[in-house]
Structure 1
Amino acid sequence: MRGIFVAGGVALALSILLTPYLIRFFARQGFGQEIRADGPKSHQTKRGTPTMGGVAILISIWVGYLVAHLLTGEPMSASALLVLFLTTALGLVGFIDDFLKLRRKRNLGLNKTSKIVGQVLTATVFGILALRFANERNLTPASEYLSFIRDITVLGFGAIGFVLLCNLIIAAWSNGVNLTDGLDGLAAGTSAMVLASYVIIGFWQFRNACSISAAAGCYEVRDPLDVAIVASAAMGACIGFLWWNAAPARIFMGDTGSLALGGLLAGLSIVTKTELLLLVIGGVFVVETLSVALQILVFRTTRRRLFRMAPFHHHFELAGWAETTVIIRFWLLAAMCAALGLGIFYSEWLAASAGG
């Protein structure tokens, strides 16, 4: 428990303190955001705002996690390190994308093929390794089954199928957070709420792990407490970054941050066996992604637009809502989704406990 508080506190403090240095450094280097020409006209005033702030998030997550282990003396786990690998590798893909955008002075970085290759390689390595590193109870960081709150044993994919499933989940969530990162603080604030949910889920799974308690409803997961420490560090990093990223933003996280956070959420869902539950907890990201898919589908079918602009948050901006109004209301929706997801998680545990 102490490690969770230490990781979150250290990451929060470092993120708040480190981000202004990055703002000044990136500003001196001319690393200013390029704004898409077809976006809302009000966003053109944001041109030149320093980007790649996801660097501060990644550094803060790692430092928070490492300091927590140094102070508690607990060993680092395979599950947590795999999630951190996934987060960092996707953050590197996003960093390259951001850097190319800045170098070319336009809102085009890596082409689609290069970005997909980076995501596929990262997800494939993660998927392969997640089925290894069995502990003394023969539990690996992930299982070959699709999960809601526990494994759905009729939905087993085998090793190859699981790796393909990892690619689908990781691509969906990394792109989902990336699409949501279009308003000041929207992605960071929403991510912080989802991560807070995973702090609770990881700690609850630890308290009720089958290795500790053989009671009905216990969880067959590996390293849940260490996973909660990673989630806590990431939550603290997002909140600290939000101090500078809230409207009007002094810095943007860029693809460096959004791809990393999307990968982090996907990884947390896989190692806690809650892949389908994340669809509820991260409902705002799901809606944002669906809005883009529906916009494309409807336009290609009817040549008409379903929304004024996609992702969904731009629709409300063009409808006359102030940017801060859209952000706060989406944060409220994110909080409700997180609360609903945690309610479902706890209700399932009550039912499983009573059923035993």
Structure 2
Amino acid sequence: MISILIAASVGLVVSILFTPYLIRLFSRQGFGQEIREEGPQGHRSKRGTPTMGGVAIIIAMVVGYFVAHIVDWLRGSTNDGPTASGLLVLFLAVALGIVGFLDDFIKIRKQRNLGLNKTAKTVGQLVVGITFAVLVVQFADANGLTPASQNLSYVRDLALIYFPLPVFVIFCVVVISAWSNVVNFTDGLDGLAGGAAAMVLATYVVISFWQARLSCAETPQAACYQVRDPLDLAVVAAAAAAGCVGFLWWNAAPAKIFMGDTGSLALGGLVAGLAMTTRTELLAIVIGGLFVVEGMSVVAQIAVFRTTRRRLFRMAPFHHHFELAGWAETTVIIRFWLLAAICCLFGLGLFYSEQLSVAGG
């Protein structure tokens, strides 16, 4: 528990203090956001706002994680230090953040709202996803547990659905690509993605800590969680959640900096990595329900337009639909945050109810 608190404290402080430095640095370099011409008219005033602020979240997460382990070591803790699960999830988030950084940098240099072309961006996500997929089923511990399982999972592995390695690699790539893209779609209003991501990550702190408390060494086999390094995953999630909160201090409306694809792709990868390493891929759809709905609104808009030549929403992702319907930006943000909180609480409720049913059954 102390490691989680240290990671969160350090992540929060680093993010709050480092983000203003990035604002000044990026402003001097002219690293300003380009705005979609077809977007809401009210967003035109945001042109030139510094972007790539996701760098602060990534650094806060990494520093918070390693400082927590250094303090553990200095305290003479019996913890074994960084684990395969924690390091792999960090790798996934940082690597996708680098892909996003390249995308943002090209947008800035070419002064357009399109960075990496679709092929280059897809290749980047593919390379990262395949690398993660191959590594995450290696590094078995003394109990034979690897960081992720080749079974599909809800709260625990579903024994009937097992993926051979080639299929599992494809599954991982799809999950990682889907989560990184839906978080990216949600990042369209000041603080919307950052606030929602903080809630989802905080939920994973609770879930991972819960799983650590119900380890198979102390809990009957039927009721315990077959997760390799749950406590270390809680440390990663805590550092990242706090990093989002610290960044939100500067990113809340009116934003002084945007996270850009650097932050949104990293956070999407982080959610995907936590979902797979905690064996909650299906539950994550509920916990991150706001992101899922935002992504579905884009898919639905494209599908309806291609088949009927009419628009389902005034604009997608559908947070812009409400803006164009006359809602103030802050109203959309707060109401969507409430929806994100409801999804997280509902996901926690499902997690807890499943544990009760197993323990009581």
Give the TM bin, normalised by the shorter chain: over 0.9
Cα distance, 1:217 vs. partner? 1.1
The one-letter amino acid of 1:334's match is: A
2:38 alignment counterpart: 38
- After TM superposition, the score normalised by the length of structure 2 is 0.98
Q: Which runs of 5+ in 2 are unaligned?
A: 74-78
Residues 1:50 and 2:56 are matched in the alignment: no
Alignment partner, residue 8 of structure 1: 8
1:158 aligns with 2:164: yes
- Give the secondary structure class of the aligned counterpart of 1:339: helix
Per the TM alignment, residue 153 of structure 1 is displaced from its structure 2 partner at its CA by: 1.1
CA distance in 2, matches of 1:76, 1:68: 10
Structure 1 residues 215 and 160, CA gap change in structure 2 (3 angstroms): closer
In the alignment, which residue of structure 1 is the partner of 2:276? Answer: 270
Equivalent positions of 1:142-181 (< 5 A) are: 142-181=148-187
1:246 correspondence with 2:269: no
Is 1:256 the equivalent of 2:245? no
1:113 paired with 2:119, answer yes
Q: Measure the CA separation in 1 of the matches of 2:215 and 2:173.
A: 28
1:144-194 alpha-carbon deviations (Å, 9 max, x no partner)? 111000011111111111111000100000000000000000000000000
Q: Which residue of structure 2 aligns with residue 235 of structure 1? A: 241
Q: How does 1:1-356 map to 2 (within 5 A)?
A: 1-73=1-73, 74=79, 75-214=81-220, 216-355=222-361
Q: Give the letter aligned to residue 237 of structure 1.
A: G
- SS for the counterpart of 1:277 is helix
Deviation digits for residues 231-290 of structure 1, max 9, x if unmatched? 000000000000000000000000000000000000000000000000000000000000
Give distance in 2, aligned partners of 1:209 and 1:338: 23
* CA distance in 1: counterparts of 2:136 and 2:262, whole angstroms: 23
Moved over 4 A (4+): none
Three-state SS of the structure 1 residue aligned to 2:148 is coil
Distance in 1, matches of 2:254 and 2:67, equals 32
Cα distance in 1, alignment partners of residues 65 and 39 from structure 2: 38
Give the Cα separation in 2 of the matches to 1:315 and 1:49. 23
Q: CA separation in 2, counterparts of 1:15 and 1:108?
A: 27
Structure 1 residue 50 displacement after superposition: 0.1
> Displacement, 1:215?
5.3
| CA distance, structure 2, for counterparts of residue 12 and residue 270 of structure 1 | 25
Unaligned runs of 5+ in 1: none
Question: Which residue identity lines up with residue 193 of structure 2 in the other structure?
Answer: A
Asked whether the equivalents of residues 33 and 47 of structure 1 are also in contact (C-alpha less than 8 Å), the reply is yes
Quote the Cα distance in structure 2 between the aligned partners of 1:81 and 1:212: 25
Amino acid of the structure 2 residue aligned with 1:348: E
Matched to 1:257, the amino acid is G
- Normalising by the residue count of structure 1, what TM-score does the alignment of the two structures yield? 0.99
* Distance in 2, Cα, partners of 1:268 & 1:340: 18
1:200-233 deviations in whole A, cap 9, x for unaligned?
Answer: 0000000001133235411011000000000000
Pairwise CA RMSD: 0.6
1:97 Cα offset (Å): 0.4
- CA separation in 2, counterparts of 1:134 and 1:349? 25
Tell me which amino acid in the other structure corresponds to 2:309. Answer: R
Q: Is the 8 A contact 1:216 1:354 kept in 2?
A: no
Q: Tell me, yes or no, if the aligned pair for 1:98 and 1:109 is still in contact at 8 Å.
A: yes
User: Percent identity at matched positions?
Assistant: 65
| Bigger Cα displacement from structure 2, 203-212 vs 173-182 | 203-212
What's the CA shift for 1:135?
Answer: 0.2
- Separation of aligned partners in 2, 1:81 and 1:304: 46
1-side partners of 2:96 and 2:257: how far apart? Answer: 20
Counterparts of 2:328 and 2:313 in 1: how far apart (Å)? 17
State the Cα distance separating 1:102 from its structure 2 match.
0.3
